[in-house]
A and B are shown apart, each in its own frame.
Chain A
Amino acid sequence: MKRGDFVGHVAWTGAGILYVLGAEGIVRSAASAAPDSFSFVQISDSHIGYAGPANPDVRGTLAKAVATINAMPVQPSFVIHTGDVTHLSKQTEFDDARSILGTLRAPLITIPGEHDVIGAEGPKRYAASFGRKEAAGRGWSSWDQGGIHFVALINVGEGETMGVLGEEQLAWLDKDLAARKSDTPIVVFGHVPLFSVDPEWGWNTSDGVKAIAMLRRFSSASVLNGHIHQVVEHVDGKIRFATARATAFPQAKPYTPGGGPGPLKPAPGTLLDVLGYRTVEVSMLTAWQDHSLDQA
């Protein structure tokens, strides 16, 4: 094994962050989980208020996701919704979303998507419905749980163009991360992908590279986003990125010729195949290294 590969391997063994994707994933992983393991769930892009051909019943599919999560034998430590809870930021949409998400057994954390902060009233309605009192600035926050440092970033919203973190938030993030040791596992949430998926469709964060630069010194950093209604994974050095499925409707693959970022009507009978949520289990594994003498 080349030395570069070797280092990469150790980094990921030490990181111990195991993604389990799919509908039954958490059941399988929870059954074999060590007692001190830690898990959470990510759901995204529920678009409550949308009623087009791509999914005439977005409330029903969100309720199905919630019921499935509630049925997990080991409940996650929290469920994070990574934005676009609503479609048009209307009060009735926030009310509907609250009534469904309010039935989650696990604690709920949300961050807004651009559909949650439309118009002058959108940000106020979002804050009234889902705002977190521990958040700073326009809603960003961080916390420590299960040996992990979690960061929830806001890259949509009032005073900013979509896909921008802004200098105030970047300064906060720099200070927040500076206080963490490099071997602390970091998990970052945001709505719009921090890495560039497809800028022509608004699937990027224009100053995301500044946040990514701050994450480079950590031996394990994971960035989990929503916004694009499909799973796209990306690795940059020791940083892993993954976007999530929606609970509402699918969207086209990035760079699809003639396509766009809007709702995509799935083939009949396939809607539930392309919707979903993500379970994440974190296990602090013992890492070992084997050394040959030619590297001594």
Chain B
Amino acid sequence: MKSPFLGAVALVALLAAAPITSKPGTIVHIRDDAFTPASITVRAGDTVTFQNDDDDAHTATADDGSWDSEGLNQNEKWSHTFAKAGTIKYHCTVHPFMHGTLIVKPK
């Protein structure tokens, strides 16, 4: 009965990996009118790059107005360094049905 054991090992590895998704250079793709991934976790001080892969214009704009990529054409990027911990909801101002979440954990 090898396979259940391997399955348990794989699960442990996945759980361990989950909190370490963030590192400097994290990219959120804007693709098919959605932020991908829709939710991302980074550490305070990390830089996140938003890249527009769509033919349409998009923005990444904090719901509270604290940061705003302004308009991005296809293949344009915008980067921002998140200094403070907290959960930030953001959206695209020209497509308000597009939402994303950025979780900034303390250093």
Chain A residues close to B by CB (< 8 Å): 49-54, 87-90, 114-115, 118-122, 161-163, 199-202, 260-263
Contacts and interface: CB of A to CB of B under 8 A. Distances in A.
Given A87-B71, A90-B71, A260-B32, A162 B55 contact: no
Given A119-B71, A202-B96, A261 B33 contact: yes
Contacts of A162: 93-94, 96
A115 B57 contact: yes
Given A50-B57, A262-B33, A263-B56, A163 B71 contact: no
B94 A118 contact: yes
Contacts of B96: 161-163, 202
Main secondary structure of the interface of B (DSSP, over half): loop
A263 B95 CA distance: 13
Contacts of B70: 88-89, 118-122
B39 interface: no
A180 to B, nearest CB: 32
7 contacts: A88-B70, A88-B71, A89-B71, A115-B57, A162-B93, A199-B97, A261-B33
A87 B68 contact: no
Range for the number of chain B residues in contact with chain A: 10 to 19
A262 B55 contact: yes
A22 to B, nearest CB: 27
Given A119-B59, A202-B97, A52 B74 contact: yes
A116 to B, nearest CB: 10
Contacts of A201: 97
A118 B33 CA distance: 17
A163 to B, nearest CB: 7
B57 A87 contact: yes
Contact of B95 (A50, A53, A119, A202): A202
Nearest to A200: B97
A88 B73 contact: yes
Nearest to A113: B94
A118 B74 contact: no
Interface string B51-82: 00011110100000000101111100000000
A89 B61 CA distance: 15
Given A87-B57, A202-B97, A260 B68 contact: no
